[in-house]
């Protein structure tokens, strides 16, 4: 696990975008996994700028999103399909036929989840998965107590998560109770995981993820066992880390061939 501390959200997001862009330039048919929420928005804005100003080409990539609400119309402003097309897909030259976002209206959810896993395998697996983290340590919608080997499935959201997402639904009571989400086992099969976390509210979750024990009660902590996880955080999100100075030292002394 590589921990990279940046001065602020903007610097962290620009760096994250360079990781994504390097993959796309090195592998034009890359398979990317995308997250939603507030955290990746500056990253997506920078990728759009790179496409517009630097001709970053998304034409051949394939994408898979982490999750979607169950029972929500895809056109609803709170749906993740709406989110992705508003903030990224509608602003780059991605092929709509290569975009995969879970279908929250699927009539047979268990069967649909199996097919989603099959589609990931058929695409050759995910090269790089963008992740955010909840204040309780969840990634995707794998809430605390999720199985560390779980696959794509339906999950029930916690009260805390529903409260955090209430702004797009006009109140907590209108937030769906259930979601389809990639499982922790699915995420662990991605070749690279790129975890972003910003702000003091995420500091404790970051500390438990990076320096705490691996536990289903902090789902993101499973990333300690991943072969290549890159954690990019701002100063505030790093405030509870015990070894932050060491992480800074490591990053500042990387050999040139490892730098992005």
Average pLDDT over residues 217-233: 98
Nearest CA to 142 among 217, 235, 90, 237?
217
pTM: 0.96
**Structural domain count of the chain:** 1
Neighbouring residues of 97: CB distance < 8 A, sequence distance ≥ 6: none
Q: Which two tokens stand for residue 7?
A: 């001065």
Q: What is the mean pLDDT of the chain?
A: 97
**Helix, strand, coil percentages, rounded to 5, for the chain:** 45, 20, 40
pLDDT of residue 168: 84
Dump pLDDT digits (tens) for 167-221. Answer: 889 899 999 999 999 999 999 999 999 999 999 999 999 999 999 999 999 999 9
Maximum alpha-carbon separation in the chain: 53
48 vs 93: CA distance, rounded Å:
10
Tens of pLDDT along 9-45?
Answer: 999 999 999 999 999 999 999 999 999 999 999 999 9
* Cα dist from 57 to 48, 72, 92, whole Å: 10, 31, 8
In tens, the pLDDT along 108-145 reads 999 999 999 999 999 999 999 999 999 999 999 999 99
In eight-state DSSP terms, residue 136 is: T
Instruction: Give the domain range for residue 252.
Output: 2-258
CATH of the domain at 147: 3.40.50.1360
Handedness of CA 74, 36, 33, 92 (dihedral sign): positive
> Which helix (H) or strand (E) segment is 21 a member of?
helix 9-26
Helix axes 80-87, 41-54, angle to 10 degrees: 40
Catalytic positions are: 67, 136, 138, 143
The Cα–Cα gap between 182 and 139 comes to: 9
């Amino acid at each position: 696990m590589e921990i990279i501390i940046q001065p602020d959200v903007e610097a962290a997001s620009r760096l994250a975008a360079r990781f994504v862009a390097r993959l796309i330039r090195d592998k034009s048919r890359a398979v990317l996994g995308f997250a939603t929420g507030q955290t990746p928005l500056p990253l997506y804005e920078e990728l759009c700028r790179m496409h517009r100003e630097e001709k970053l080409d998304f034409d051949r990539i394939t994408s898979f999103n982490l999750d979607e609400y169950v029972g929500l119309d895809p056109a609803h402003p709170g749906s993740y399909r709406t989110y992705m097309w508003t903030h990224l897909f509608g602003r780059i030259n991605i092929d709509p036929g290569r975009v995969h976002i879970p279908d929250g209206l699927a009539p047979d959810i268990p069967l649909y989840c199996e097919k989603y896993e099959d589609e990931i395998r058929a695409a050759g697996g995910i090269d790089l998965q963008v992740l955010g983290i909840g204040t309780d340590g969840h990634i995707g919608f794998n809430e605390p107590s999720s199985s560390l080997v779980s696959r794509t499935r339906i999950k029930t959201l916690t009260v805390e998560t529903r409260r955090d997402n209430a702004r797009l639904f006009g109140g907590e009571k209108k937030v769906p109770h259930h979601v389809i989400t990639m499982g922790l086992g699915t995420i662990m099969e991605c070749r690279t995981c790129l975890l972003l976390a910003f702000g003091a509210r995420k500091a404790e979750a970051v500390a438990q993820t990076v320096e705490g024990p691996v536990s289903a009660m902090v789902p993101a902590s499973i990333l300690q066992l991943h072969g290549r996880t890159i954690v990019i955080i701002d100063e505030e999100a790093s405030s509870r880390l015990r070894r932050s100075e060491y992480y800074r030292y490591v990053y500042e002394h990387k050999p040139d061939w490892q730098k992005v």
